[in-house]
Structure 1
Amino acid sequence: MSDPLDDVAAAAGLAVFGAARVPGAGQAREELVAGGVPEKLSAKDPTLWGPAAESEAKIRLGWVDTFRRGRELLPQLAELKAELSDLTHVVLAGMGGSSLAPEVITRTLGRPLTVLDTTDPHQVRIALADRLLSTVVVVSSKSGSTVETDSHRRAYWQAFLDAGLTEAEAARHFVIVTDPGSPLEATAREMGAYVVLADPDVGGRYSALTAFGLVPAALAGVDVAELLDQAAELSEALTAEQGNPGLALGAALGAAARNGQDKVALVPDGTGIVGLGDWAEQLIAESTGKNGIGILPVVVESPDSPGASGSDVLTVSTGGSLGPGAVLGGGVPPDVAVNGPLGAQFLAWEYATAVAGRVLGINPFDQPNVTESKENTNRILAGGAPAGTPAFTTGAVEVYGAGSIRDDLASALRWLLTETVDSGYLAVMVYLDRFGDAAAAELRPLLAAAAGRPVTFGWGPRFLHSTGQYHKGGPQVGTFLQITGAVTGDLPVPGKPYSFGQLQAAQAAGDRQALTGRQRPVLRLHLTDRAAGLAQVLAAARTL
């Protein structure tokens, strides 16, 4: 492998190593420069992705300079933080772009933030019981109609009333972040909650440096002005044809996918940024996975974890800085390494993803397949889940699917691996409590080691707002392992005819319908006892 240090594109403390050595990247970059992309993108030219994408791009390019408008929020955020100084526990209720950036920001900078992006009743119940009267709930939804976020808002409102607060007192515990004119803005006004309106010209996955990223981070104690400064400093280089890290990274991502390396392993190198891969996963998958093509992001735990490389995988390590003597990729040579401050990282990856969309000939701002699982979920909630009979039951695990396998959990997993084609991937989709059932994440490296293919891992329904688009709109080469679990303490969604447990089950069933409708292999494991069943699944995976 070529030494990534042999080429560097750097500006404003952010450096992209190795991009020019990716096969085809030089040609892609020449095409981009010849098309005037750096200057046109910085000028927010909506014609860059073709006539079909122009109308969408016109209202989705605000991220190019949203960090400038973000500064207008700073006095408002300082005032809000002072006003709510007695509410020391910050909960963020949001999905996808509304939750992933704040989580990266607070994890990286060591500030406490409870992120609630689940419909698992166990996880929701625990959150509701945690320091309720000292909690401020940031309810974030661009559209204002996100079912998970609306359910969280309803549950917290009822919890505050049940704790003896008046409606006026309860309203003080909410900060609503949404687009101007959304249904959630109207609801917030009726509640009497504090409202922060976001930049309407920025799509959710590009919203890291808008109110969606800044409000919860600021309430959690982050100096968000520093993030804006970092992005502003980088932006000056993004108009350039040379020394442009965003252009170098975008050309590499697009060229790699165009030439068969259509999976990108996102590997933390241990130099100061925590969880960036989870944010970039949504950005890349939802932006590029459509029309049967796309780039599949694979978030890998560490540089030496299984699945960090492969013949059709572009390995990209990320970190905050490379100090003296530091080794690229945390000791495992990547194809590309991206290092620099978090605010600059956000802008660089957004820019690079838009550029990769240009290289691949797709619109990076729409998400045509996201609504499919949502519509399936709504039908199931209205009419009930279709009856299903397990192929077999072993211990605390009911097995659905698995071809002709009828009695052995390890064999069922092997069947799924054999269904994964040479150019394909395996997606592990887990509808459980991502804290209480955190051991489920151990499945990704175990299955990656056994499969010898890229394996992704997602908590449901969180991943539906991320890789869910790629699963349906990208290349149809995926195989899917879905894990669901019994609910022992369900929780009603106030004002709705369903519970969190029913909503979670409907979301899992709706997504299964979307995948099986595409004739994709789906193995579902239902844990009748979560702890015991998960232990069985992990034990079986270790034998593969």
Structure 2
Amino acid sequence: MSDLTADPAVVAGGLAVHGADAVDGATRLREELVGRGLPARLAAEAPSRWGPDAEPAARPGRRDAHRRSRELLPQLAELAAELEDLDHVVLAGADGVTAAAETIARTLGRPLTVLDSTDPGRVRAVLADRLERTVVVLAGTSDATVETDSHRRAYWQAFLDAGMGEAEAARHFVVVTAPGSPLEAVADEMGVVVLPADPQVAGRVPALTAFGLVPAALAGAEVTALLDDAEAFSASLGRDADDPALALGAALGAAATGGRGAVALVGDGTGLDGLGDWVARLLAVSTGGAVLPVVVETPTAPGVTGPDVLTVSYGGALAAGDVPGGGCAPHVAVNGPLGAHFLAWEYATAVAATVLGVDPLDRPDDAASTAHTRRFLESGPPAQAPSHTEGAIEVYAPPGSPADLDGALRHLLDGVDDAGHLAVTAYLDRVADADTARLRPLLAEALRRPVTFGWGAAGEHHRAGRPAGSYLQLTGAVDGDLPVPGRPYSFGQLQAAQAAGDRQAQADRGRPVLRLHLTDRAAGLAQLRDAIGRWRA
């Protein structure tokens, strides 16, 4: 890896990028981009950059969104005062719209409950938590999502069942959505407060817009400081030199075109909790899988390094004399305030997408998965008997694979070659089944290849994986299902349809998918850890 102290960092607006110029080909690429006038065009968000479908307004990640978001601040302050007695903030949404708010709340130490799951146990637990003091922020982009609609229906019924009238129940909702969206129409019928999302931003992981700011502000976060930090950094965007975001984007693009298409994202311990998850979604969905982001738990966890891995650490301000990385030796380190990070990564991702020739508005895997989910909700997932049952695990092995647990797992893992990676997706409860996430470092240590991990439908960026990906899907028995009010299906059936939709989308692309169904979640996870240990042996 590069010696980050050997070359000066690129610094502006409080954010520093170390090591970018040392990435092979990055300096030459940056010079080429400057020669083409790309930095200024991206900073101006020229509509032609994104194609006719993005004109005139729907452009991903407008770089001046933070300025227009200031118009929200008086309304946010008034709303927070009106809802002061509702101190339990629940953010319900899908498709990455919850990621930024969760990052803000975690970084600033504010309590925010995120409901991005259709697992019946998770939904039931959140519904039972301080209902009388809950305000639900429903976040949705221009598309109607069955997940958000189901959460809305469940909470509305819960408020009514608690003895609230419709007017009082409506007070417990705030909706953030694009003007003219189906969710806005529903909100108007319900009589709830609607805060419009910026119509000029079409990014899949919006940060410094109403999607990120409204829930964080209601949870008590000081969002004005985020906008101030973004404003201070924004002056550097579009420069031909002294532009940290351009340096970062060129490093990402050069690495991906030079054989380092996996990006290990590791926090350096300087206070930006959860930023890696937001960056991972941004990189994956905006590069169409050309970049494979891998969120690594700590600087010493397996998966930080690899022959085709660009290691990028991130964090807040470094103390004088501190070496970036927090204990690992990254190729690139990014340090600065959170508001600057949001803006820098959005711009850098746009640079990388340009280099890779990718349309960031295209999400074929996501569209296919969603279409399959809706079809399976109507007709039910395809009937399938397990190929083998062992203890608390039902094995659904792909064609050509051994049927038993050890054999199927060995077949899947042995098939991850020097160009491949493993994506683990758990359709489980990310709180009650939190130990599932510990499988990622175990598998990364065993495979010595990139291993990603995501929770169910919230792990949307795993759908955009590279063609060489192999997929391990975990599902679990439902202990007491929960109906979706007004719909002919339950949350358990919705979750099963989502899992089946993801499997079908991957199978359609010829990707191997091993599904392990845990008939007892705790016992099944213990069995799986043992099986991984036997494979390593």
SS at match of 2:241: coil
- The aligned runs of 1:78-477 (5 Å cut-off) are 78-289=77-288, 294-401=290-397, 403-407=400-404, 409-464=405-460, 466-468=461-463, 470-471=464-465, 475-477=466-468
CA distance in 1, matches of 2:74, 2:18: 37
Quick check: 2:59–2:203 contact (8 Å CA) kept in 1? no
1:480 aligns with 2:471: yes
CA distance in 2, matches of 1:33, 1:349: 18
Q: Cα 1:450–1:62, aligned 2, differ >3 Å: closer, same or farther?
A: closer
Q: CA deviation at 1:56?
A: 2.3
SS at match of 1:71: helix
CA distance in 2, matches of 1:480, 1:44: 36
Q: Cα 1:432–1:310, aligned 2, differ >3 Å: closer, same or farther?
A: same
Quick check: 2:401–2:407 contact (8 Å CA) kept in 1? no
Amino acid at match of 1:467: H
SS at match of 1:369: helix
Mean CA deviation greater in 301-310 or 124-133:
301-310
- Large movers: runs of 4+ above 6 Å: none
Amino acid at match of 2:136: V
CA distance in 2, matches of 1:206, 1:169: 32
Aligned to 1:500: 491
CA distance in 2, matches of 1:114, 1:435: 11
**Cα offsets for 1:411-467 (capped at 9, x unmatched):** 432221111121110000100000000010011000111111000001001112x23
Q: CA deviation at 1:148?
A: 0.6
Normalising by the residue count of structure 1, what TM-score does the alignment of the two structures yield? Answer: 0.96
**Cα offsets for 1:145-168 (capped at 9, x unmatched):** 111111100000000000000000
Q: CA deviation at 1:61?
A: 4.5
CA distance in 2, matches of 1:185, 1:525: 39
Quick check: 2:60–2:204 contact (8 Å CA) kept in 1? no
Normalising by the residue count of structure 2, what TM-score does the alignment of the two structures yield? Answer: 0.97
Quick check: 1:56–1:366 contact (8 Å CA) kept in 2? no
Quick check: 1:108–1:275 contact (8 Å CA) kept in 2? yes
**Cα offsets for 1:44-87 (capped at 9, x unmatched):** 212335xxx34326421452101001100000000000000000
Q: CA deviation at 1:346?
A: 0.3
Q: CA deviation at 1:364?
A: 2.1
Amino acid at match of 2:311: T
Which consecutive residues of structure 2, in runs of 5 or more, have no partner in the other structure?
none
Which consecutive residues of structure 1, in runs of 5 or more, have no partner in the other structure?
none
Q: Cα 1:36–1:299, aligned 2, differ >3 Å: closer, same or farther?
A: same
CA distance in 1, matches of 2:354, 2:401: 44
CA distance in 2, matches of 1:399, 1:378: 25
Quick check: 1:144–1:178 contact (8 Å CA) kept in 2? no
SS at match of 1:97: coil
Determine what percentage of the aligned residue pairs are the same residue.
63
Aligned to 1:3: 3
SS at match of 2:76: helix
Q: How many residues align?
A: 532
CA RMSD of the aligned region, Å? 1.3
CA distance in 2, matches of 1:298, 1:179: 30
Q: CA deviation at 1:406?
A: 3.2
CA distance in 1, matches of 2:222, 2:334: 23
Mean CA deviation greater in 5-14 or 353-362:
5-14
1:514 aligns with 2:511: no
SS at match of 1:333: coil
Q: Cα 1:198–1:390, aligned 2, differ >3 Å: closer, same or farther?
A: same
Q: CA deviation at 1:204?
A: 4.1
1:540 aligns with 2:531: yes
Amino acid at match of 2:350: A
Q: Cα 1:139–1:308, aligned 2, differ >3 Å: closer, same or farther?
A: same
Q: Cα 1:54–1:20, aligned 2, differ >3 Å: closer, same or farther?
A: farther
Amino acid at match of 1:427: A
Q: CA deviation at 1:365?
A: 3.0
CA distance in 1, matches of 2:299, 2:377: 42
Q: Cα 1:440–1:266, aligned 2, differ >3 Å: closer, same or farther?
A: same
Amino acid at match of 2:111: P
CA distance in 2, matches of 1:231, 1:542: 46
